[in-house]
Chains A and B, each alone.
Chain A
Amino acid sequence: MIQDKTLSSRIMDVVVLFFMVLATLLCFLPLWYTLCLSLSEKSAATAGLVSLWPVGFNFTSYKTIMGDTKFLNSFWISIQRVVLGSALNFVVIVLTAYPLSKSAKDFGPRNILMWILVFTMLFNGGLIPWYQTVRSLGLINNIWALVLGNSVPVFSVILVINFFRNLPKELEEAALVDGAGPWYLLMKIYIPLSVPVLATVTLFSIVYHWNEFFNGLVLMSKSDRYPLQTYIQQMVVNLNMGLMTEDQYKKMNVLSNQTLNAAKIFIAMIPVLLVYPFLQRYFITGITLGSVKE
């Protein structure tokens, strides 16, 4: 591109850079502040002295959490949920997407099945009938309620269908001539060629199962069955919220253990921060490739 060196163009560069730095800080500083708060002394945090650097640097909050069996228990439930949920999602997404990526000519009921799938994405029975269904299956307080609760991730299935449909047909035709069956085609041709989109939907599954708190709240009646996000919702966020008057609110602000709460919040962020580099590498390709139609 031809470089524009006029004065107005340089002013524009500066203005743009200013807003970019602002946007970056706006997203970074809240997370940084939480980390600083968690590493500060309790009294300093309560007095509102912490800004962008820890005051009275210490690890007390993190040590306390390491001895908090309820927190660790919830953390473990979340790990189990993520592993089971993501594995199940992967298998079901691939198995559902492959037949539906065929044309109606090759697979007769394809269109009607596709419409059923999309319909369930657009319309739902709402909270109460869904809750009653899960309840009547006897899944209350069962980890499988968390794994299965939100049904098939239809959006991910559609992404994978679109990706499969864009793969070159010649590969499949060549394998068909060699006598390959549908399972062989799926395992040896489609899955190895679809790593970007499969990585994307798997990362979506991981993040979804880690972040989801509501199913944990309504489907687990005992607090020792809560996944981590539900635990934090109940122990940290909700305690601040169920207050009626301004006085109560002020008192709560002073009494609550801010440093400990900040540490809990920060630990709950760590798994997302760990998968984030991979997530970022894939999600743009996944989204753009998956949404391109022939």
Chain B
Amino acid sequence: MPAKSRRLPIDHFKEGSVKNRSFSKHYLLMLLPGYLWLAIFSIVPMFGLVMAFQDYNPGQGVFHSDWVGFDNFKYLLSLSDAKSIFYNTVFISVMKILGNLLVPLVFALMLNEVRSRATKKVVQTVVYLPHFLSWVILAGILLDIFAYRGPFNHLMAFFHQKPILFFARADIFPGLVIGSDVWKEFGFNAVIYLAALTGINPSLYEAASIDGAGRFQQLRHVTLPGISTTIILLTVLSLGNVLNAGFDQIFNMYNPVVYSTGDIIDTWVYRSGLLNLQFSLATTAGMFKSIIGFGMITLSYYLADRFANYKIF
């Protein structure tokens, strides 16, 4: 690229640097509202991270609170809950990542084998829908379905199972969270695989079938290699989500009975910061998450660029 864009000085002159400069003024004017908004609601809060190194007192504000160095970090690590919260966060998010990579892949491969266009259309229309509904709505629906006298327990009664209080069982809760997240997103996550599948040259299938390949062999030797780049790309990009266990979902589904397996960093930050008003401690935990998250996303973008030639812009 650099070699191509190098120009002779005379070219540059001809294109009219005067004109470009006057355009630049307009460009900056266009950017003003967006960057002002960004500055106030994204960049100013970043400076609030100094609270993590203070014993923040709302009455005194950021400028007059006492500095405590890394005391908040030390205290946080000494908390007995810290380990289980970190473990819950990583466990739930890693299982979600795996489920959200595999289930959509299998679903997309199967949908690709459906021959009737009308069937495809109906299936797609229905399975994309849960993605666009909020976790408030879906948690409300799940509460009804998994209620003590709800349809799921009714169904289980056919198999002679006793009814279960799903939302009050700490051992079941992570499974409920992971399963319902995969259920919500599998259709939508399949879109990218489906787009990659339509990109495969149809003549490859024809050639394979003339060579005597059955449908399984075509799947194995044409389809999978055809979308392998997409699979690698999505896997690498999902690295950035290792600490995102899904606040909206868990916040709407959990209760004190399942804190031991369901409490994650984000929900803990919310409760300790906004309910118990431990501003400094909550900021510290949030900062811990932001920094690791930033590192993971940067790494994932680097790997995606390196191995799949993917650039976000």
Question: Are these two chains actual partners, yes or no?
Answer: yes
Q: Does chain A have a CB within 8 A of B107?
A: yes
Q: Is the CB of A114 within 8 A of B313?
A: yes
Q: How far is the CB of A48 from chain B (nearest CB, A)?
A: 3
Q: Is the CB of A126 within 8 A of B297?
A: no
Q: Does chain B have a CB within 8 A of A253?
A: yes
Contacts of B110 in A (CB 8 A): 16, 19-20
Quick one: which of A24, A116, A237, A279 contacts B140, CB cutoff 8 A?
Answer: A237
Q: Is the CB of B145 within 8 A of A133?
A: no
Contact A37/B144 with A24-B122, A48-B150, A129-B51 known, Cβ cut-off 8 Å: yes
Q: Is the CB of A133 within 8 A of B48?
A: yes
Contacts of B67 in A (CB 8 A): none
Q: Does chain B have a CB within 8 A of A47?
A: yes
Q: Does chain A have a CB within 8 A of B236?
A: no
| Chain B residues within 8 Å of chain A by Cβ, number | 105
Flag the segment in B18-26, B74-82, B84-92, B94-102 that touches A. Answer: B18-26
Q: Is the CB of B30 within 8 A of A130?
A: no
Produce 1/0 per residue, B208-222, CB < 8 A to A: 011000111000000
A33 to B290, CA, bound (A): 39
Q: Is the CB of B209 within 8 A of A237?
A: no
Produce 1/0 per residue, B44-55, CB < 8 A to A: 111111010000
Q: Does chain B have a CB within 8 A of A17?
A: yes
Contacts of A56 in B (CB 8 A): none
Q: Does chain A have a CB within 8 A of B302?
A: no
Q: Is the CB of A27 within 8 A of B187?
A: yes
Contacts of B156 in A (CB 8 A): none
Quick one: which of A51, A99, A214, A218 contacts B27, CB cutoff 8 A?
Answer: A99
Contacts of A168 in B (CB 8 A): none
Quick one: which of B47, B205, B252 contacts A233, CB cutoff 8 A?
Answer: B252
Contact A127/B273 with A120-B43, A214-B251 known, Cβ cut-off 8 Å: yes
| Chain A residues within 8 Å of chain B by Cβ, number | 113
A17 to B157, CA, bound (A): 28
Q: Is the CB of B42 within 8 A of A4?
A: no
Q: Is the CB of A99 within 8 A of B30?
A: yes
A115 to B190, CA, bound (A): 30
Q: How far is the CB of A39 from chain B (nearest CB, A)?
A: 14
Q: Is the CB of A95 within 8 A of B34?
A: yes
Quick one: which of B139, B147, B187 contacts A237, CB cutoff 8 A?
Answer: B139
Contact A241/B140 with A20-B119, A113-B31 known, Cβ cut-off 8 Å: no
A245 to B167, CA, bound (A): 11
Q: How far is the CB of B19 from chain A (nearest CB, A)?
A: 8
With most chain B CB atoms within 10 A of its CB, the pick from A27, A107, A246, A250 is A27
Contacts of B266 in A (CB 8 A): 127
Produce 1/0 per residue, B128-168, CB < 8 A to A: 11101110110111111101111100100000000001011
A258 to B20, CA, bound (A): 64
Q: Is the CB of A96 within 8 A of B269?
A: no
Q: Does chain A have a CB within 8 A of B282?
A: yes
Q: Is the CB of A30 within 8 A of B119?
A: no
Q: Is the CB of A182 within 8 A of B30?
A: yes
Contact A128/B51 with A12-B215, A13-B115 known, Cβ cut-off 8 Å: yes
Produce 1/0 per residue, B170-196, CB < 8 A to A: 000000000000010011000110010
A99 to B32, CA, bound (A): 11
Q: Does chain A have a CB within 8 A of B38?
A: yes
Produce 1/0 per residue, A254-288, CB < 8 A to B: 10001001100100110011001001100110011
Contact A161/B313 with A33-B144, A124-B46, A132-B48 known, Cβ cut-off 8 Å: yes
Contact A129/B147 with A95-B34, A272-B133 known, Cβ cut-off 8 Å: no
Contact A27/B34 with A237-B252, A288-B195 known, Cβ cut-off 8 Å: no
Q: Does chain A have a CB within 8 A of B127?
A: yes
Report A27-57 residues with CB < 8 Å from chain B CB.
Answer: 27-28, 30-31, 33-34, 37, 46-48, 51
A240 to B133, CA, bound (A): 20
Contact A236/B140 with A107-B27, A288-B195 known, Cβ cut-off 8 Å: yes
Q: Is the CB of A249 within 8 A of B133?
A: no
Q: Is the CB of A279 within 8 A of B274?
A: no
Q: Does chain A have a CB within 8 A of B71?
A: no
Q: Is the CB of A125 within 8 A of B145?
A: no
Q: Does chain B have a CB within 8 A of A194?
A: no
A23 to B247, CA, bound (A): 26
Can you spell out 11 A-B residue pairs with CB atoms less than 8 angstroms apart? A8-B216, A27-B187, A33-B145, A91-B33, A120-B42, A122-B293, A125-B286, A126-B286, A149-B41, A152-B37, A283-B191
Which 4 pairs from chain A and chain B are nearest by CB? A129-B48, A126-B286, A48-B149, A125-B45
